[in-house]
Amino acid sequence: MEPYSNQLFGLDFNTLKEMLQSQYFNEIQSINYEDSDHKVGMPGICGEYAIPKLEITTNNGTEAIVLFGRRQLSNTESKQAHHYRYLSEIGIPVPKLYGAITDSNNCEILFLEYAQEITDEKDFFSEEKNITEFIDLAAQFLSMHLSHNYIGLIGKDMGNKSDTRDWKTWMSWSVFIIEKIWDLASQNKLGIDLKKMCEDCNTKNKLQRIAFNMIKKIGSFDIGIAHSDFRPNNMVHLNNHKLGLIDFEDVIIDSKYYDIARYLGAPDQVFKWEVTKRDYYIDFFIDRCKKYEGKKLNHQKMRDELFHIWYTRSINMWEWLPHEYGGPEYDFWPTGKNSEERCQNLSVLLNALIHNSDRIIIN
């Protein structure tokens, strides 16, 4: 190790000391620095990262720690330190926040206790205990008490972003994306499976009507906090062996069960877990919500609501489009790492949407 001297994002010793001091009862006397062997595994996340090893010395001794540091690339991104601070205070499992500041460009620099990332969703869900821990974390997060101050900070973040999800805009956009998919498929630009699937314009019109009418449906559901990207790749294994949540850039106030609906609300064709255990998982989720919130939810009502939230979210198929036709870049790999994979996944999703369209209930 070497004495710390501006190695982390150009921060000088006094600034780093001030950021970390709140974690130590005695005054920090010295900091030694070393690069760690840990690498950031999650692609597609914006920011400049560092995972340093530090030796912090006070008159009470020396402690060795490994931190995860992140500096925003743009001051238009949502700040995240207040999420880690508030959530840890109320007992939601997140990595420990060591300190945070904003630099001269109003970009946030934060340091968290390093925790092992989860980079392979399929491997993670291959263990039953991981599925139940995942569901438990979803219930714990959506059931938490929201202070007015925290709601205000979320609102401030939402107000500063141009891409915050608004269902009226989202569903109108969905109508456009459906039209675009049919047009591309008719030109055989998305593969033979989608070309055959999109030959019927009546199916297209039906999906577009559903998309527009779901604006009313989604507005009738309970409102709460949504992480918006609640998946294993935004989780870590904390040092206390609990599953911890990270990446709060897209947190908003939305349908309360939005996060878990991606999984529990998905129909059989795209259900990520064992289909025969769906009711068990929903009951487990209801039980966890009762534990954290004290309210018993109805199974069938919950099942229907989860499905309708899944459908409303999934009918906007933009992120499944190949990048060359307007979809996200391929470093956003959850929907496919290349054009062929995107088209295959889009075909599976569209088939599920069509097959389950008669289940949609619009009052």
Fold of 121-359: Aminoglycoside 3'-phosphotransferase; Chain: A, domain 2 (3.90.1200)
Beta bridge partners of 101: 109
Cβ distance 38 to 51 under 8 Å?
yes
Q: What is the pLDDT of residue 179?
A: 98
Residue bearing tokens 């805009």: 169
Tokens of 221: 């559901």
Q: What is the pLDDT of residue 162?
A: 57
Q: What is the pLDDT of residue 43?
A: 40
Strand-pair category, 30-35 with 48-50: unpaired
pTM value is 0.92
Tokens of 67: 């931190």
Q: What is the pLDDT of residue 201?
A: 96
Q: What is the pLDDT of residue 36?
A: 79
The dotted CATH code for 2-114 is: 3.30.200
Q: Which DSSP string do the residues of 174-213 spell out, in sequence order?
A: HHHHHHHHHHHHHTT-S-HHHHHHT--HHHHHHHHHHHHH
Q: What is the pLDDT of residue 80?
A: 92
Domain boundaries, the chain: 2-114, 121-359
Tokens of 176: 């456009």
Q: Which of 30, 29, 28, 33 is nearest to 53 (CA)?
A: 33
Spans of the chain below 50 pLDDT: 42-45
